[in-house]
């Protein structure tokens, strides 16, 4: 009988945990990890330290290549999945190669979220998700001294700290969308404004930017409802949204993320979802929840692997850590840390 073939789309914390858990519980299966990124799995929360030079690039990556060889896990970097046919049990890669699977875990994580009203200026804004984004920041920071931060998620706060350490001048625009997915409250607003102010950051009070004009490569002009000013670069930080667009025509149920039951199973046999891209049913609440966070990603990775192998482990989150964001329950546990 041929070896069972398990494929995991993704190479972040959820995917890596799923791969290790699968290997621990099924020594003779074939396990393949697919990543659209050309680099090894990395820890996104260390990117601000990399940008400020506190750590070197190598410290970002959480597993050496030998890890995969030793565990007989086939890691395929720079291989983007563009289509999945669940009835034929095949994945189509961007270069049109077809990979078949007996069991599949989707762990494609999230990508930076830009609110619709800022999408017009998107090309003039820097985001931060991958080491490639971080290198863009590093190259920009060699040339500019002032940065405008838009948003307010935890990423922007830790990057702001790193930029201040580098001696940069920071302006910050906070509006009602800025703590997404944490609902906006005056209490959070006051706490963050006070903290930024005491760190030497100028907080600009405005609802939305009206205009952004590129003056030259290292200067943009920004107009709000109350002032016009110039800055060297703009960073946009409005949280992460699940990276599942390539699956919208696949027959999976997709809302904010991919809808799965409490066992992380999709409507298709032997297909599970883990990490930031999952939206999980909560039987007690009778609704779905999602989460953006490292701990949640590894926990779901472990559960998805066990359930793919036949267990019935429930993925649970405490109802008190769930917030309602636009009708979706969001587990914001790590966002509450600041």
Ligand X SMILES: Cc1cc2nc3c(=O)[nH]c(=O)nc-3n(C[C@H](O)[C@H](O)[C@H](O)COP(=O)(O)OP(=O)(O)OC[C@H]3O[C@@H](n4cnc5c(N)ncnc54)[C@H](O)[C@@H]3O)c2cc1C
Give the separation between CA 338 and CA 334, rounded to whole angstroms: 8
Among 21, 26, 32, 155, interactor with ligand X by CB under 6 A: 155
Which residue carries 């609902």 as its tokens?
183
Residue 36 binding ligand X, by CB under 6 A: yes
The answer to whether residues 47 and 134 touch, using CB atoms and an 8 Å cutoff, is yes
Residue 175 binding ligand X, by CB under 6 A: no
Give the separation between CA 251 and CA 58, rounded to whole angstroms: 39
What residues does 32 pair with on adjacent strands? 7, 74
Among 147, 157, 276, 302, interactor with ligand X by CB under 6 A: 276
Q: What is the DSSP letter of 185?
A: -
Residue 109 binding ligand X, by CB under 6 A: yes
The answer to whether residues 126 and 16 touch, using CB atoms and an 8 Å cutoff, is no
Which C-beta is closer to ligand X: that of 222 or that of 238? 238
Among 61, 246, 323, 338, interactor with ligand X by CB under 6 A: 246
Among 264, 292, 322, 330, interactor with ligand X by CB under 6 A: 292
Among 128, 141, 174, 241, interactor with ligand X by CB under 6 A: 128
Which residue carries 């005056």 as its tokens?
186
Single out the segment in contact with ligand X by CB under 6 A; choices: 65-73, 104-112, 171-179, 198-206. 104-112
Residue 303 binding ligand X, by CB under 6 A: no
Residue 311 binding ligand X, by CB under 6 A: no
Residues in region 201-230 near ligand X by CB under 6 A: none
Among 9, 84, 192, 212, interactor with ligand X by CB under 6 A: 9
**What residues contact 190, with CB distance under 8 A and at least 6 apart?**
none
**What residues contact 285, with CB distance under 8 A and at least 6 apart?**
319, 322, 329
- Asked if the bond preceding 107 is cis, omega within 30° of 0, the reply is no
Q: Which pair of structure tokens corresponds to residue 34?
A: 């697919």
The three-point CA angle 272-278-279 to 5° equals: 115
Among 107, 157, 259, 260, interactor with ligand X by CB under 6 A: 107
Single out the segment in contact with ligand X by CB under 6 A; choices: 101-109, 114-122, 196-204, 313-321. 101-109
Residues near ligand X (CB under 6 A)? 9-15, 34-37, 44-45, 47, 80-81, 107-110, 128-129, 154-155, 243, 246, 275-276, 292-295, 297, 334
């Amino acid at each position: 009988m041929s070896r069972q073939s398990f494929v995991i789309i993704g190479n972040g914390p959820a995917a890596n945990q799923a791969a290790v858990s699968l290997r621990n519980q099924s020594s003779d299966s074939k396990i393949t990890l697919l990543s659209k990124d050309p680099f090894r799995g990395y820890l996104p929360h260390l990117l601000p330290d990399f940008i400020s030079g506190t750590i070197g690039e190598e410290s970002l990556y959480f597993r050496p290549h030998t890890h995969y060889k030793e565990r007989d896990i086939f890691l395929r970097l720079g291989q983007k999945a563009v289509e999945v046919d669940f009835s034929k049990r095949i994945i189509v890669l961007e270069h049109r190669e077809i990979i078949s699977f007996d069991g599949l875990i989707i762990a494609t994580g999230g990508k930076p979220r830009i609110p619709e009203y800022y999408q017009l200026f998107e090309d003039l804004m820097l985001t931060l998700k991958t080491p490639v984004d971080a290198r863009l920041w590093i190259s920009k920071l060699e040339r500019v001294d002032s940065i405008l931060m838009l948003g307010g998620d935890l990423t922007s706060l830790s990057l702001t700290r790193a930029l201040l350490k580098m001696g940069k001048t920071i302006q910050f625009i906070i509006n009602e969308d800025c703590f997404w997915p944490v609902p906006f409250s005056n209490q959070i607003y006051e706490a963050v404004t006070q903290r930024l102010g005491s760190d030497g950051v100028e907080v600009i009070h405005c609802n939305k930017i009206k205009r952004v004009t590129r003056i030259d490569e290292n200067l943009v002009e920004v107009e709000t409802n109350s002032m016009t000013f110039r800055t060297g670069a703009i960073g946009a930080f409005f949280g992460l949204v699940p990276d599942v667009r390539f699956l919208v025509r696949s027959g999976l149920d997709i809302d904010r993320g991919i809808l799965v039951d409490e066992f992380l199973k999709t409507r298709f046999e032997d297909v599970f979802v883990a990490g930031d891209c999952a939206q999980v049913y909560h039987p007690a609440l009778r609704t779905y929840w999602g989460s953006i966070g490292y701990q949640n990603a590894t926990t779901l990775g472990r559960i998805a692997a066990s359930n793919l192998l036949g267990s019935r482990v429930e993925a649970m989150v405490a109802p008190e850590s769930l917030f309602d964001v636009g009708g979706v329950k969001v587990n914001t546990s790590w966002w509450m840390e600041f």
